[in-house]
């Protein structure tokens, strides 16, 4: 038969009160695990809803590429200055600069438990450069989660969005209609639809997204990092599915 826990205990532990051992066990369970992950999903898939929940649960930093670029430029970091110079000349910021900005960002204290990358990498080449940079720091990605949703449902979700420009309050023609059609509930002022929330623009963006994303998803699937979630479900159900993936490893 297997030896009991008591007989296996080291002599040093015999003198530690049970309450102290339980407190230490609880402390280790409560301590956030390090998580380095990528969240993949088209516009309207719910990444903006789920990322803050994941961030809060695991004490991570949320790195959205556009926000990161702007923050690095504003802070005048080495990579921020390089990006600013390129953008002012009308050029495209190189993969090396973006990966450099990510490297600067994850060195900050708020990223000590890990990060959620949103909007990068978009190509296999970028994914390889990201892996190499993380490898240089002695760390690696834990999860790549794709929020999958049918294009037709996305079109319905996004083309029905209505916004009150002054307050930012949002409505939806079908899922959350205002009390009076095309009028803000609180002020009665007219609602507007964003220029890029039209069907033609959206379908082009979705086509480009799928063409770009599939090779990246395949790259991470080969590494055993990829999981897919049905993002057409209710937000709480999606949240539960994400938490199950992230707490499983």
Q: Respond yes or no: is residue 57 known to be catalytic.
A: no
Helix/strand/coil (H, E, C) string of 136-175? Answer: HCCCCCCEEEEEECCHHHHHHHHHCEEECCCCCCEEECCC
| Catalytic site includes residue 205 | yes
Choosing from 70, 85, 128, 194, which is the catalytic residue? Answer: 194
Which of 148, 156, 205, 228 is flagged as catalytic? 205
47 is catalytic: yes
Residues whose CB falls within 8 Å of the CB of residue 238, separated by 6 or more in sequence, listed in order:
46, 49, 50, 147, 229, 230, 231
Q: Which of 35, 36, 55, 122 is catalytic?
A: 122
Q: Spot the catalytic one: 47, 129, 157, 239.
A: 47
157 is catalytic: no
122 is catalytic: yes
- Give the active site residue among 55, 129, 157, 161: 161
The upper half-sphere exposure of residue 36, i.e. CA atoms within 13 Å in the direction of its Cβ, equals 17
Strand, helix or coil at 80?
helix
- Catalytic residues, by residue number, are 47, 122, 161, 194, 205
């Amino acid at each position: 038969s297997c030896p009991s826990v008591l007989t296996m205990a080291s002599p040093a532990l015999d003198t530690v009160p049970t309450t102290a051992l339980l407190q230490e066990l609880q402390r280790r369970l409560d301590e956030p695990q390090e998580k380095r992950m990528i969240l993949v999903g088209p516009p309207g898939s719910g990444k903006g809803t789920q990322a803050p929940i994941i961030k809060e649960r695991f004490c991570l930093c949320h790195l959205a590429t556009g926000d990161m670029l702007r923050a690095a430029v504003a802070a005048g970091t080495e990579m921020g200055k390089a990006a600013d110079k390129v953008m002012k000349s009308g050029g495209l910021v190189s993969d090396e600069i973006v990966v450099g900005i990510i490297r600067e960002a994850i060195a900050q204290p708020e990223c000590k438990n890990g990060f959620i990358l949103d909007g990068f990498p978009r190509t296999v080449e970028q994914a390889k450069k990201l892996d190499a940079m993380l490898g240089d720091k002695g760390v690696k990605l834990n999860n790549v989660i794709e929020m999958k949703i049918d294009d037709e449902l996305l079109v319905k979700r996004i083309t029905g969005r209505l916004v009150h420009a002054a307050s930012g309050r949002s409505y939806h023609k079908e899922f959350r209609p205002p009390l009076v059609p095309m009028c803000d509930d609180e002020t009665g002022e007219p609602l507007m639809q964003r220029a890029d929330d039209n069907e033609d623009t959206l379908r082009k963006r979705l086509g480009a997204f799928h063409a770009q994303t599939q090779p990246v998803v395949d790259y991470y699937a080969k590494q055993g990092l990829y999981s897919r979630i049905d993002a057409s479900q209710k937000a709480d159900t999606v949240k539960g599915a994400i938490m199950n993936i992230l707490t499983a490893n």
